[in-house]
């Protein structure tokens, strides 16, 4: 009877709102000394799959060396193509971004999240039109979200109309600008490789606007007292063209490969690349946007920085559908065309509910 009354008295929205109103995020819970995960964070995926002790395969996660790319381009294109078709994920080394900048970006993200909450509060928002925004779970109040994720985030728009320097938090301002400049250069290189992997001209995807938009998301995963009950980030696929992820040495990222969760090994100095939904759509399923997730962990905090390449979601009315050069009688279009604005609005409203964004656009 007591359990029944507790269930009846549980008001999820009120609990979510009370948590959100603190503007202190998950880190605020840890700072308050909690020893149990609040109910809003108890995730069905964690309870069903016990991801804190997953049955991960020990497959060799694709690692591609970009050194000497001019003389070795054909082989590198082949490796990128194979990884994008089979895994949808790969890591790159010798990518041209100094390790000092990678480490500096991780330190900058950590500095922001570990400031006094009163300094962070002015950045706390759920207004998607803002160019700099800190919050806990963009889909916290989504009806379809299974539970809140054990994660705080700082998001900054860096292209095509970047946030003004003074809008960026002082603790990570200079490194974010430098990191984004380096990331755009790498993004163009990756687009060339991805284009040639589709047997297209090197500048094809760039001319389609696949790297016009860049958003940088600094994630902070505090240590979790009960990681077997919570999820750092729910299973999902990214709603962009492609993503470049910088992760620290703690790890926790997993990819769903051949129906098995596979750990993405944290290797210092490397970057993780993954294909996004829109690139799968325009490649007509040639490249795969695979589901991935982040585990909660007793060790922490874990820091990661995700760079999302798109057209700039709320500015683009350009229509994207399967690339004509890839289509034939034997390979008809598998998706209906959409604007980036429509795709982003649909996926943001849906939230991280464990279902595919692409299924909404699939031609039956």
| Full pLDDT tens readout for the chain, 364 residues | 344 434 445 789 999 999 999 999 999 999 999 999 999 999 998 877 654 444 555 568 999 999 999 999 999 999 999 999 999 999 999 999 999 999 999 999 999 999 999 999 999 999 988 999 999 999 999 888 889 999 999 999 999 999 999 999 999 999 999 999 999 999 999 999 999 999 999 999 999 999 899 999 999 999 999 999 999 999 999 999 999 999 999 999 999 999 999 999 999 999 999 999 999 999 999 999 999 999 999 999 999 999 999 986 555 688 999 999 999 999 999 999 999 888 888 887 877 777 789 999 999 7
6 backbone dihedrals φ, ψ, rounded to 5°: -60, -45
4 part of a folded domain: no
> What integer pLDDT is reported at residue 131 of this predicted model?
95
6 part of a folded domain: no
Residues paired with 245 in a beta bridge: 272, 306
Which residues form the domain of 279? Answer: 13-361
Instruction: Name the token pair of 254.
Output: 């997993």
5 part of a folded domain: no
Give the integer Cα–Cα distance in Å for 75 and 86.
17
CA distance readout (Å), 195 to 160, 164, 280:
21, 32, 13
Instruction: Name the token pair of 211.
Output: 């790297």
CATH classification of the domain holding 237: 2.60.120.330
> What integer pLDDT is reported at residue 340 of this predicted model?
85
Q: How many CA atoms lie within 13 A of 290 on its CB side?
A: 23
112 part of a folded domain: yes
Give the integer Cα–Cα distance in Å for 311 and 316.
6
Number of domains composing the chain: 1
Quickly tell me which residue has 């994630």 as its tokens: 219
**Per-residue burial over 297-327, b = 16 or more CB atoms within 10 Å of its CB, e = otherwise:** beebbbbbbbbbbbbbbeebeeebbbbeebe
229 part of a folded domain: yes
> What integer pLDDT is reported at residue 60 of this predicted model?
87
Whether 258 contacts 82, CB under 8 Å: no
Whether 293 contacts 232, CB under 8 Å: yes
180 part of a folded domain: yes
Q: What secondary structure letter does DSSP report for 359?
A: G
> What integer pLDDT is reported at residue 39 of this predicted model?
96
> What integer pLDDT is reported at residue 4 of this predicted model?
40
> What integer pLDDT is reported at residue 192 of this predicted model?
98
51 part of a folded domain: yes
70 part of a folded domain: yes
């Amino acid at each position: 009877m007591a359990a029944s009354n507790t269930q009846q008295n549980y008001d999820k929205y009120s609990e979510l709102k009370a948590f959100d109103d603190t503007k202190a995020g998950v880190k605020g819970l840890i700072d308050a000394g909690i020893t149990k995960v609040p109910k809003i964070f108890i995730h069905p995926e964690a309870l069903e799959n016990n991801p804190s002790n997953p049955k991960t395969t020990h497959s060799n996660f694709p690692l591609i060396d970009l050194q000497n790319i001019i003389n070795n381009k054909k082989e590198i294109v082949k490796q990128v193509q194979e990884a994008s078709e089979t895994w949808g994920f790969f890591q790159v080394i010798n990518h041209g971004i100094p390790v000092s900048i990678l480490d500096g970006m991780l330190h900058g993200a950590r500095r922001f999240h570990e400031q006094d909450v009163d300094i962070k509060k002015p950045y706390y928002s759920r207004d998607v039109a803002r160019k700099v925004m800190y919050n806990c779970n963009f889909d916290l109040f989504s009806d379809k979200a299974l539970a809140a994720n054990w994660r705080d985030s700082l998001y900054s728009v860096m292209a095509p109309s970047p946030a003004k320097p003074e809008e960026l938090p002082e603790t990570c301002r200079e490194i974010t600008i430098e990191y984004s400049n380096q990331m755009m250069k790498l993004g163009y290189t990756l687009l060339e490789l991805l284009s040639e992997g589709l047997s297209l001209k090197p500048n094809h995807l760039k001319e389609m606007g696949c790297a016009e938009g860049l958003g940088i998301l600094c994630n902070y995963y505090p240590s979790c007292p009960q990681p077997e009950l919570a999820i750092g980030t729910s299973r999902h696929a990214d709603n962009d063209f492609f993503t470049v992820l910088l992760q620290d040495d703690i790890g926790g990222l997993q990819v769903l490969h051949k129906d098995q969760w596979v750990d993405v090994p944290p290797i210092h100095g490397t970057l993780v690349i993954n294909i996004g939904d829109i690139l799968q759509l325009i490649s007509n399923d040639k490249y795969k946007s695979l589901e991935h997730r982040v585990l909660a962990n007793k060790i922490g905090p874990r820091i990661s920085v995700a760079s999302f390449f798109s057209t700039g979601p709320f500015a683009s009315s350009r229509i994207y559908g399967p690339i004509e050069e890839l289509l034939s009688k034997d390979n008809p279009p598998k998706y209906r065309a959409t604007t980036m604005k429509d795709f982003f609005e649909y996926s943001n409203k849906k939230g991280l509910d464990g279902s595919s964004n692409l299924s909404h656009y699939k031609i039956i």
